[in-house]
Every structure is written in C-alpha cells, then in structure tokens.
C-alpha cells in the first residue's frame, strides 16, 4: 500500500457532513435508507421481453471523464479547485499512467459539502498528490466504441455510485445494493489485505462508516459476510446466474470478485458452478447456448479502463461482448448494462443529489444500456444509482426485494421502449476482436489498493 493510501486509511477529515433526518428500518437486511422527499417506488410490471440481463462492470471513471463533451449530456470541460481557481479539463488518452485517490476520505475532500471543488486534494498523481491531475477527460477517439454505443442506444448521465468509495464497496453494491452489516454500520473503502474476501489472510479487517458518519478504519469484521445478495433472490426463484471474473489468486479477481466476500457462495457449490473464471469464458457459454438469465462480467486489469501504466483494451472488450450478443440468437431477448464501478478520482461537475447514512450517494459514473428494445439515441437524465440496476432485475423476474437501496432507487426500465419493433443489430467497430480476448493470455497483474 502506498504512503498516500495508508494515510487515507488513518486520517480523518474534519467537518463531516451533517445529515438530514431519516426514518429507521433497524435490521441488517432492511437498513435505514429512506430519505425525505423521495417518492415511493412502485414495483414495475414484469418485462417479458427480457430473458437475459448482462451487467458489464468496468473500472474507475467519472461521467465527465468519458463523456464530458457528449451531445445532449450533462458534461463539463472545466472544473473548480479548492483554491477558487477554475481550470479547463485537459483532453488526454485513455491509458492515464497514475491512479488517483478514490477512498471515502478522497470523496469527502472532492465533494466539499456539495461545492465539488476539492478534487485537487485527493491523493495520487505524478507527485503523490492530485493537484490538477483529476481535471481531464478522455479524447472521444480513444473510447469510440463507448461513444458509438451511446449514440445508438442509451447513455445515462445521472447514474450515481451507491457510496462515495472505491471498488470493493462498489462491487458489493452491484450484487447487494449496499454494504450495511448491521443497523449502525456499513462497510466502506477496502479490506486491510488482499484478496478482498473470504480468501483474505487471517487478521484482515474492514473499515466501517457509522450512521453518525464516523469512519472507523479497520473497525469492521473479517470480509467473509453473511448478508443477502441478489444470489439469494435468484436461487429462491430458480433463476440461473453466473459471475464471470478473473481468478482470485494473484490477479484482478483478488479484489474485484464480489462473491469472494459472500460466505455462502465461497464455501458452497456455487463457487465452482456459478463463479466462472476466467471472465472470457462468457464467450464460450454464449456460443454453446448456455447464457444464464443474469450474468455479471468482470474484466482483467488490461480490459478494465482502470488508470495505470498498462495498455487498456477496455472499449474493445466491451464492444466484443456487445457484438457477440448482437450477432447471436440472444440479441432480441437480452439487455446489456455497462457501468463503471467508481469515479476513480476524476473530476465530475454534478454533485450527488442527496446524502444518506451509508456514505452515499457517491459521484456520477457512466451507464450504457444496450438492447433490441433500448431507446434509440437517448440520453437519460433520470436519477439512478446501482440499486436501479438491481431493481430492474428484481422486477423482471418477480424476485422480491433485498430491502437495501433497491427500495428507493428508480428502475432503469425507462431506458427501454418495449412497444418498439426489435432493432436490428449493427456491429460496433473496435480495434480488438472477440478472438483476441478469447486467446488473451491469463493476466496476473495486480491492481490498485482502492
């Protein structure tokens, strides 16, 4: 762990934000997540058109970082700094060499009570501190497959992270909706040692955020958890699922495999039947007519869009997944949701719309929705969070609720027009093909510690 990251784990910022009143649901599976002025959400009718949902999880990019200049989207090409300066966002390549800080402490600094002017105070960057490094956006030519998908299908410009934190909690949120472990605490940031989960070495701890917004570094339990996830709802209704991921030992899966933290999965038969490595086996299952109802697809480091001194084939990886589905018999029955797990320290101009007691909402991340029934060339300004994806999945198969953020979140169902004629698929151009990823050597590259 770098000195900057270590300092972020033990240093508390002053002036923690004061929260609005919330009503209480005091059980671990029904936490306090209700908020003032949020309309009650109705259960959406089951969507018969969708028989398969694929959630593709990319890494560490804010909305402005990838789509700052996208037509019709709420983007920005300049940002505010804590010293009062307004700076222009630099246009750069995708393979940015430095990993910026994106912990809870970094979130608070960047958020600055809603002013969104403290990104320069995050850790990371060329000199160990952020400075002007977060104030950049990727040249659209570098992420052309993402822009092509956004131009043809749905780009959501108000998708917010569940929590203002990094990859560990984000990946939990995408299978669970939040990280509450009891009525008073939620996991935040990342475990003290890798792998992050039941395979962690003895003595590994987690950090928690209390309902009073007090950060307790290393005050949480060993990261082998018993709370419910979508897996429980899916299994109860016999709905098939798979989690395509790199292996845990010595690779990206050491920190991005959310189910390594779920005790019932890690030490049950689903660890080998449902958790599938490497993630490129998704293509094999697709071709063999074995696509499950719900898939999560987690990339290796080089295919992830994660900043760092490595090549990034992320746009081609995502395009290859979309093309494989689009050119298969599954096209007319599948919804593909592409989302980035956290902001990665990069500037974003839109303040999260409210605060809850679990460290959220966090910053905006991009979301693309691709389907034969997706709205055409549509920028959705609807307020979403990761629970919105879960809610759509729950409604689609009548699974019931997890009673996390899925009860307050607006479903992504409005990204679709099920009255329209199914769209004919047009392949997405990309530099690397599906065959490249199917033959890609196994990657044991480590990733960052957030």
pLDDT of residue 98: 85
Query: How far is residue 296 CA from its own chain's centroid?
Result: 11
Average pLDDT over residues 201-225: 96
Each residue of 399-416: pLDDT tens digit? Answer: 999 999 999 999 999 999
Look at residue 280 and tell me whether its pLDDT is greater than 90.
Answer: yes
Average pLDDT over residues 295-324: 94
Average pLDDT over residues 80-95: 96
pTM of the model: 0.90
Look at residue 395 and tell me whether its pLDDT is greater than 80.
Answer: yes
Each residue of 138-189: pLDDT tens digit? Answer: 999 999 999 999 999 999 999 999 999 999 999 999 999 999 999 999 999 9
Each residue of 110-141: pLDDT tens digit? Answer: 999 999 999 999 998 777 789 999 999 999 99
Average pLDDT over residues 67-92: 97
Look at residue 433 and tell me whether its pLDDT is greater than 90.
Answer: yes
Angle between helices 167-176 and 386-396 (to 10 degrees): 20
Paired tokens of 267: 């030490």
Sign of CA dihedral 138, 140, 146, 151: positive
So where are the chain's domains?
49-96+134-175+223-438
The per-residue b/e assignment along 102-127, b for 16 or more CB within 10 angstroms, e otherwise, is bbbbbbbbbbbeeebbbbbbbbbbee
Tell me how long the chain is: 450
pLDDT of residue 441: 79
Annotation: CATH topology of 49-96+134-175+223-438: Alkaline Phosphatase, subunit A (3.40.720)
Each residue of 231-259: pLDDT tens digit? Answer: 999 999 999 999 999 999 878 889 999 99
Q: What Cα–Cα distance (Å) separates residue 223 from each residue in 1, 83, 162, 186, 286?
A: 18, 39, 19, 12, 32
Spell out the SS3 assignment of the chain: CCHHHHHHHHCCCCCCCCCCCCCCCCECCECCCCCCCCCCCCCCCCCCCCCEEEEEEECCCCHHHHHCCCCCCCCCCEEECCCCCEEECEEECCCCCCCCCCCHHHHHHHHHHHCCCCHHHCECCCCCECCCCCCEEECHHHHHHHHHHHHHCEEEEEEECCCCCCHHHHHHHHHHCCCEEECCEEEECCCCCCCCCCCCCCCCCEEEEECCCCEEEEEECCCCECCCCHHHHHHHCCCCEEEECCCCCCCCHHHHCHHHHEHHHHCCCHHHHCEECCCCHHHHHHHCCCCCCEEEECCCHHHCCCCCCCCCCHHHHHHHHHHHHHCCCCHHHEEEEEEECCCCCCCCCCCCCCCCCCCCCCCEEEEEEEECCECCCEEECCCEEHHHHHHHHHHHCCCCCCCCHHHCCCCHHHHECCCCCCCCCCCCCCCCCHHHHHCCCCCCCCCCCC
Average pLDDT over residues 424-447: 85
Look at residue 100 and tell me whether its pLDDT is greater than 70.
Answer: yes
Each residue of 16-50: pLDDT tens digit? Answer: 333 333 333 333 333 344 443 344 455 554 556 89
């Amino acid at each position: 762990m770098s000195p900057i990251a270590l300092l972020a784990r033990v240093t508390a910022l002053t002036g923690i934000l004061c929260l609005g009143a919330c009503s209480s649901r005091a059980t671990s599976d029904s936490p306090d997540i209700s908020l003032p002025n949020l309309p009650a959400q109705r259960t959406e009718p089951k969507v018969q058109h969708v028989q398969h949902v694929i959630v593709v999880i990319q890494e560490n990019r804010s909305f402005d970082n990838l789509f700052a200049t996208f037509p019709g989207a709420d983007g920005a090409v300049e940002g505010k700094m804590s010293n009062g300066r307004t700076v222009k966002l630099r246009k750069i390549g995708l393979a940015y060499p430095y990993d910026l800080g994106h912990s809870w402490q970094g979130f608070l600094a960047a958020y600055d009570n809603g002013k969104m002017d403290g990104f320069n105070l995050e850790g990371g960057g060329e000199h160990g501190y952020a400075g002007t490094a977060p104030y950049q956006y990727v040249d659209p030519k570098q992420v052309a497959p993402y822009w092509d998908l956004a131009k043809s299908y749905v780009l959501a410009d108000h998708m917010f992270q569940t929590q203002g934190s990094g990859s560990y909690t984000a990946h939990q949120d995408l299978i669970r909706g939040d990280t509450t472990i009891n009525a008073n605490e939620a996991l935040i940031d990342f475990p003290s040692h890798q792998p992050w989960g039941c395979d962690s070495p003895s003595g590994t701890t987690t950090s928690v955020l209390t309902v009073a917004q007090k950060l307790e570094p290393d005050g949480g339990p060993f990261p082998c958890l018993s709370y419910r996830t979508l897996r429980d709802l899916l299994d109860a209704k016999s709905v098939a699922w798979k989690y395509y991921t790199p292996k845990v030992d010595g690779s990206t899966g050491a920190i991005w495999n959310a189910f390594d933290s779920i005790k019932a999965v890690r030490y049950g038969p689903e660890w080998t039947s449902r958790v599938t490595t490497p993630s490129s086996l998704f293509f094999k299952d697709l071709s063999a007519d074995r696509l499950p109802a719900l898939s999560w697809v987690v990339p290796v480091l080089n295919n992830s869009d994660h900043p760092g001194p490595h090549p990034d084939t992320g746009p081609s990886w995502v395009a290859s997944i979309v093309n494989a589905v689009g050119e298969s018999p599954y096209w007319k029955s599948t919804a593909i949701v592409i989302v980035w797990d956290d902001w990665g320290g990069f500037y974003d101009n839109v303040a999260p719309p409210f605060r809850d007691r679990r460290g959220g909402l966090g910053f905006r991340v991009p979301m693309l929705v691709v389907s034969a029934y997706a709205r055409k060339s549509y920028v959705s300004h609807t307020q979403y969070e990761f629970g919105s994806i879960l809610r759509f999945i729950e409604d689609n198969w009548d699974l019931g609720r997890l009673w996390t953020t899925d009860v307050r979140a607006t479903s992504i169902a409005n990204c679709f027009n099920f009255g329209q004629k199914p769209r004919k698929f047009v392949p997405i151009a990309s530099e690397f093909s599906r065959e490249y990823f199917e033959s890609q050597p196994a990657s044991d590259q480590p990733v960052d510690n957030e």
